[in-house]
Amino acid sequence: MTPDELMDVAQGLQEKDASIPNHVRVCTAASCLSLKSDELAKQIKAELKEVGKDKDTKVRCVGCMGLCSAGPLVSVEAEDQKPVMYQKVTVENAPQIAESVASGKKVKDLVCDTDSPFFARQQKIVLENSGIIDADDINDYIANDGYQALMTAISEMQPNEVLDEITKSGLRGRGGAGFPTGLKWNMLAKTPSDTKYIICNADEGDPGAFMDRAILESDPHRILEGMALAAYATGATEGFIYVRAEYPLAIKRLKTAIRLATKNNFLGSNIGGTKFSFSIDIRLGAGAFVCGEETALIASIEGKRGQPRPRPPFPAEKGLWGQPTSINNVETLANVAPIVRKGGEWFASIGTNKSKGTKVFALAGKINNTGLIEVPMGLSLREIVFDIGGGIPDGQEFKAVQTGGPSGGCLPEEHLDMGVDYDSLRTAGSIMGSGGMIVMDKTSNMVDVARFFMEFCMSESCGKCIPCRVGTYQMHELLNRIAEGEGTMEDLAKLEELCEVVANTSLCGLGQTSPNPVRSTLRYFRHEYLELIDGKHIPAGAGQEVAS
C-alpha cells in the first residue's frame, strides 16, 4: 500500500463516518471502566434501539477523555448539534442519553463544561486520538491519519531523513531523564549490526502516574507506528513492548492492535510492499519497579532476574541479547508519528527553548480535577494546579506538588510560577520524571511524604548494589525515627550524609535518585524535620505558624 492508497482508504473511512448522523463515545479506559462504563455503553446501544436511533447512531467505546474524577464520561454528537460531554454517567442514565440523541436536547444535569480551563487549556498531540477513537478498531486510527507517517517514511524518505526530523523536533525522552531521542536513535543507527531492537518501555511504576496506561489503552496503534518509525530510522528489525502485567486492559488492546496491524501489513515482513520489515512482541513485567531501568528491563526480557548492570556499555551499543537496542518510553514513541507527519519544525515550535512539545501529566492527590492532562512544556505549575486542576478541594491551602515520583521532589508554593520543563524542575530540586503530579495541601506532613517515597524505594530496590540495598533501608530507619519524634540532630546529619552516598555511588537510577524526595523536603520544609527533632511534635498543618 502506498501513502496515497492509504490516504484514499482514510478518506473513505472518514466519509463513511460522516454519513452517520449521530456519534456517542463512551470512555472505557481503566478508570471509567472500573465504574462499569462497558455496561453503560451496551445499555446506551439498547436504549438507542428503543428510541429507534440505533441505525443512524454510532456508539464507540473510546479511550481516556482526561477528567477521570468525573467519570464515566460520555460524549454525544447529535445531528446538527454542538458536541456535548456528560459526566458521572451511570447505567441508569442510559435512557436519557439515548433520548438526547433522538431529541437533540441536552441532559442538563449531566453536562460537563468543556469550556472550563481543564479542557480549554490543554494542547493534545500524544492524546489527540484519546477519547475519540475505538482502540480496538484499526480503521478508526487510519481514519485519523493513522499509519500515514509510517507509509510516507518507508516509501518516500530515507532512514536518516526520519532521524533528522526527530533530531530537529528536539524531542526528549518522556520516561524521566529527558535524554534527546534523536541522539539516542543516532547512536543506534550508527552501531553496525544485523540485529537491532526497539523496546517500548511501558513499565510505568511511579506512584500516582498513569499516563502510559491511558495512552496504551486509548491509542495503541500510535505506539506501534512510533516503534516502526524508530525501527526504520535506526535499522532495527524487531521490537518488544515491555508492559507491566498490572495493566491487563492495555495488554489486551495492544495484542489486538498488533494482530490487526500485522494483518494489514503495517507490521511484519515487507511492510507496505517495501523492503522494510519489522515485528513487535509483548513481554510482561512482573511488577518490579526497577525493571523500568533500561538495563534491568533488558535483563527481564532476556528471562533473567530484573537487575541493572553498569553503563557503559549503553544499550545502543550492547543491549538486548548483546545487540544494539534503543529503549523508549510510551509517551516518547507516541510523539513520533505526529513529528514525522507534520515535521520536526512544527514540534519544535511548541514548548520552551530546551523542552519541546507537550507533556502528559497525571494529576492526583489534593486537587479538584484528578485525571490526565496534556499541556505544552513551559506552562506554569500554578496554571496546571489551579486553572486546569481546579485548585485544592475542601477549602484547603496549597502546600507542595510532588513531581517525578520516587525519583522526584516536592516543590513549595514559591515555585508555583515556574514554567514546567526538564531543566527548571531539575534546578528546583525535582525532576520531570514520567509525569506524575501529586498535589499536597497544608494537612500533609512532609517528613511522612519523604518517608513514604523512601519506603517505596527500599522495597523496590533489587538488592544488587550495597548503597541502594542497605542505604535505602538505613535512610528509611532514620526517617522513621525522626517522624516518630525520636530523632536527633545526629540522625539528621547522618540522613543527609547517606543521601549523598546513596545518590553518588548507587548502580542505577533507582538508587541514585532515591534520596531526592528527602533532599527536596529538607530543602524546602526543613523546619518540619527540626520541629520533630526538637520534640515539639505539632500536628501537621500547624507547622508554618510555629516556624514563623
Partner 1 sequence: MSKVIRVVTLTIDDQEVTGREDETILTVARQHDIDIPTLCFLEGLSGWGSCRICLVAVEGVPKLLPACMTYCSEGMVVHTENEQIKAYRKSILELLFSERNHICSVCVSNGACELQALAQKCGMDHVSLPYRFPSYEVDSSHNLFRNDHNRCVLCTRCIRVCDEIEGAHVWDLADRGINAHVISDLNAPWGDSETCTNCGKCVQVCPTGALVQKGTAVAEMHKRRAFLPYLNAMRGNHG
Q: What residues make contact with partner 1 under the rule CB under 8 A?
A: 288, 290, 305, 309-310, 312, 458-467, 469-474, 477, 494, 497-498, 501, 504-507, 512
Tally of CA atoms within 13 A in the half-sphere of 424 that contains its CB:
18
Q: Between 187 and 470, name the residue whose CB sits nearer to partner 1.
A: 470
The least CB distance from residue 37 to partner 1, in Å, is 36
The least CB distance from residue 428 to partner 1, in Å, is 19
Q: Between 52 and 463, name the residue whose CB sits nearer to partner 1.
A: 463
The 10 Å CB-count burial string (b at 16+, else e) for 112-147 is beeeebbbeebbbbbbbbbbbbbbebbbbbbbbbbb
Q: Report which of 234, 318, 222 is spatially closest to residue 278, judged by C-alpha positions.
A: 234
In sequence order, which residues have a C-beta less than 8 Å from that of residue 395 and are 6 or more positions away?
none
Residue 192 C-alpha cell reads as 553496525
The least CB distance from residue 299 to partner 1, in Å, is 12
The least CB distance from residue 10 to partner 1, in Å, is 47
The least CB distance from residue 496 to partner 1, in Å, is 12
- Given CA atoms 455, 456, 457, 463 in this order, what sign does their dihedral have? positive
Q: Between 277 and 504, name the residue whose CB sits nearer to partner 1.
A: 504
Residues paired with residue 400 on neighbouring β-strands, in sequence order: 412, 440
The 10 Å CB-count burial string (b at 16+, else e) for 21-53 is ebbbbbbbbbbbbebebeebbbbbbebbeeeeb
User: Cα 509 to chain center, whole Å?
Assistant: 19
Q: Between 14 and 474, name the residue whose CB sits nearer to partner 1.
A: 474
Q: Between 245 and 542, name the residue whose CB sits nearer to partner 1.
A: 245
Q: Between 349 and 459, name the residue whose CB sits nearer to partner 1.
A: 459
In sequence order, which residues have a C-beta less than 8 Å from that of residue 20 and are 6 or more positions away?
56, 57, 58
Phi-psi region of 80 (alpha: psi -120 to 50; beta: other; left: phi over 0): left
The least CB distance from residue 510 to partner 1, in Å, is 10
Q: Between 310 and 539, name the residue whose CB sits nearer to partner 1.
A: 310
User: Cα 511 to chain center, whole Å?
Assistant: 22
The least CB distance from residue 513 to partner 1, in Å, is 12
Q: What share of the chain is helix, strand, coil (3-state, %, to 5)?
A: 50, 15, 35
The least CB distance from residue 435 to partner 1, in Å, is 25
Q: Between 269 and 459, name the residue whose CB sits nearer to partner 1.
A: 459
